[in-house]
Amino acid sequence: MPMYEYGCLSCNNRFDRLRRMNQDDADVTCPVCRSKSVQRRLSVFASYTKGASSSDMAESAAPTSSSCGRGCPGCGCGTRN
C-alpha cells in the first residue's frame, strides 16, 4: 500500500496515511482538528538502487527547485518554512 501525504484545509496540518491505490479520500480526516476538509498533496521522495555509488545517491537525493516545493532551506526554491 502506498503512503499518501495530506494537508488539512482547516488547520493547515500535514499528515500521512497508508491507502490502497483504489481508495478514494472521502473518509480521511485530520488527526488534529478532525476536519474532513483535506486534500492529497504531492510528496517528495528519494529512492536508492542496490549497487549505486554513494556519490550517485547523493546527487539523485538532492532536492531541486523543480522537485522540492516544500520550502526547504538551501534547496533553491526561494521559499522558507
Q: What is the pLDDT of residues 24-45, one digit of tens each?
A: 888 999 999 999 999 999 877 7
pLDDT at residue number 65:
42
- Residue 3: C-alpha distances to residues 21, 53, 59 (Å): 9, 27, 24
**pLDDT > 90 in the chain, percent:** 33
Sign of the CA dihedral 33, 28, 65, 50?
positive
Query: Cα(54)–Cα(14) distance, rounded to whole angstroms?
Result: 31
Q: Please count the structural domains in the chain.
A: 1
Looking at the predicted structure, is the pLDDT value of residue 70 above 70?
A: no
Domain that holds residue 36: 3-49
For the chain, give the mean pLDDT: 75
Looking at the predicted structure, is the pLDDT value of residue 68 above 70?
A: no
Is 28 domain-assigned?
yes
pLDDT at residue number 16:
93
CATH number at residue 12: 2.20.28
Is 7 domain-assigned?
yes
